[in-house]
Amino acid sequence: MKITDVETYVLLADNYDPSLTSSAQDTCLVIIKTDEGVEGYGECDTSPWVAKAFIESPGTHTMDQCVKEILIGSDPLDIDTLWEKIYVGSAMTGRRGAGVNAISAIDMALWDIKGKAKNKPVFELLGGKKQEEVIPYASLQPIGHSFQEYKDSLVAWAEKAKSLGFKAVKSEVTLNGPYAHSGLHEEDDKTTEVVAAVRKALGPEIKLMIDVQYRWKNAEEALRTVKDWAEFDIYFLETPVWTDDIKSYARMHDEAPMKIAAGEWLSTRYEFEDLIVNGKIDVAQPDVGRCGGLTESIKIAKFSQEHNRIIVPHCWKTSVSISATAHFAFNTPNCAFIEYLPPQLCVEILRKELATEGFDFIDGKIKPPTKPGLGIELNRDAIKKYQVA
Ligand SMILES: [Mg+2]
């Protein structure tokens, strides 16, 4: 089998609002075609224009080759070799960040092709089923422009998630800092007030995670507030401080009364090794659409397991990467939960329209996928409607 074409689409929701924090308003969709008629689908979570340029830009020398040219004519089933060829061949521009994010979309599409070619769900090709079911947590993102609207919307989403059968919920609580919702600028006691309200709405049975999205400048500042959160029984606290402040992460691990989670933006196993060994984080959160795809996710999961760390993959995108994340989770014994943005609990059009999910979600649990590849169907009308480049 040979790759005959690589199509890269920039999709943008027609109601996108650049003042919102949601990266699910756009996507870079990659479709890889083969001479046997099998097609693979992947996407990544970075600027879709940058990812498209990374894949399609002409090469000028050996360490900056054209990624699309590397792919065309190659065997799509030899994924490890292709991954390495692209990673090394694009090293001067890629190696980390957007380049590796773009490779993630290609890698996802290659695994989709492999599954379809071998008539097997991707998780079986990754090494088989390591757990019988995967528990998704509902990711709650607030709406509204005032503190009261913000709090009320999170409580309403939490109640809805509970009624949909979710066993775990993650609430964004970002009232200040670089990710502050809709220009809000509230004191830390308001953050605690929202955490308390969401916990009360959920009751004691449902696992609760809190994402403050880099709210505090350092561990000293973060601990002033979160040291008193033991009563809310938080499963983990996500990204309390800036992603590169490894020393603060280590101190948070030592002193905070809950697990510390991070890694949503990282690419490659090397960045995760630093975060785990030096940042001492308890929960690693690779995003399959950013870290280097399924191929790199598996390496990150293995390293995490060797260091007794939990994996809870990040994913805030469409059904394409959510399905890839589910396949990864079934093959990852130390994966406790996966992030899941349910179509019923979000406003993102691409999440609702771009593709079907490659799995069934029943009674708060994801069942093992049965269809070949990632198991997704693309909605071609949505691609036409939202393509901008
Ligand atoms: Mg986050």
Q: How far is the CA of 151 from the centre of ligand 1 (A)?
A: 18
CA-CA distance, 286 to 298, in Å (whole number)?
10
Q: How far is the CA of 308 from the centre of ligand 1 (A)?
A: 22
Q: How far is the CA of 35 from the centre of ligand 1 (A)?
A: 40
Domains 3-120+381-386 and 126-378 share a fold: no
Q: How far is the CA of 210 from the centre of ligand 1 (A)?
A: 9
Q: How far is the CA of 139 from the centre of ligand 1 (A)?
A: 10
Among candidate residues 197, 253, 243, the one with its CA nearest the CA of residue 223: 253
Q: How far is the CA of 329 from the centre of ligand 1 (A)?
A: 18
Among candidate residues 56, 75, 74, the one with its CA nearest the CA of residue 65: 56
CA-CA distance, 24 to 351, in Å (whole number)?
7
Would the CA dihedral through 216, 222, 226, 228 be positive or negative? negative
CA-CA distance, 314 to 118, in Å (whole number)?
28
Half-sphere exposure of 216 (CA within 13 A, CB side): 21
Q: How far is the CA of 213 from the centre of ligand 1 (A)?
A: 6
Q: Which residues does residue 366 pair with via DSSP β-bridges, in sequence order?
A: 134, 361
pLDDT for 327 equals 98
Q: Is the pLDDT of residue 217 over 90?
A: yes
CA-CA distance, 326 to 339, in Å (whole number)?
9
CA-CA distance, 338 to 328, in Å (whole number)?
10
pLDDT for 19 equals 80
- pLDDT single digits (tens) 5-23: 999 999 999 999 988 888 9
Q: How far is the CA of 303 from the centre of ligand 1 (A)?
A: 21
Q: Is the pLDDT of residue 36 over 90?
A: yes
pLDDT for 344 equals 79
Residue 141: pLDDT band with limits 50, 70, 90: confident
- The answer regarding whether domain 126-378 maps to CATH 3.20.20.120 reads yes
Strands 259-262 and 3-12, bridge-based pairing: unpaired
More confident residue, 30 or 344: 30
Q: Is the pLDDT of residue 58 over 90?
A: yes
Q: How far is the CA of 64 from the centre of ligand 1 (A)?
A: 31
Among candidate residues 356, 239, 338, the one with its CA nearest the CA of residue 289: 338
Q: Is the pLDDT of residue 252 over 90?
A: yes
Q: How far is the CA of 9 from the centre of ligand 1 (A)?
A: 25
CA-CA distance, 218 to 105, in Å (whole number)?
33
Residue 102: pLDDT band with limits 50, 70, 90: very high
- pLDDT single digits (tens) 350-367: 999 999 999 999 999 999
Q: How far is the CA of 211 from the centre of ligand 1 (A)?
A: 6
Q: How far is the CA of 89 from the centre of ligand 1 (A)?
A: 31
Delimit the domains of the chain by residue range.
Answer: 3-120+381-386, 126-378
Q: How far is the CA of 262 from the centre of ligand 1 (A)?
A: 8
pLDDT for 145 equals 87
Percentage of the chain exceeding pLDDT 90:
92
pLDDT for 143 equals 84
Q: How far is the CA of 244 from the centre of ligand 1 (A)?
A: 14
Q: To the nearest whole number, what is the mean pLDDT of the chain?
A: 96
Q: How far is the CA of 22 from the centre of ligand 1 (A)?
A: 10
Q: If you count DSSP H runs as helices and E runs as strands, how many of each does the chain have, helices first? A: 14, 13
**∠ Cα 163 318 301 (to 5°):** 90
Architecture label for domain 3-120+381-386: 2-Layer Sandwich (3.30)
Q: How far is the CA of 261 from the centre of ligand 1 (A)?
A: 9
CA-CA distance, 176 to 190, in Å (whole number)?
10
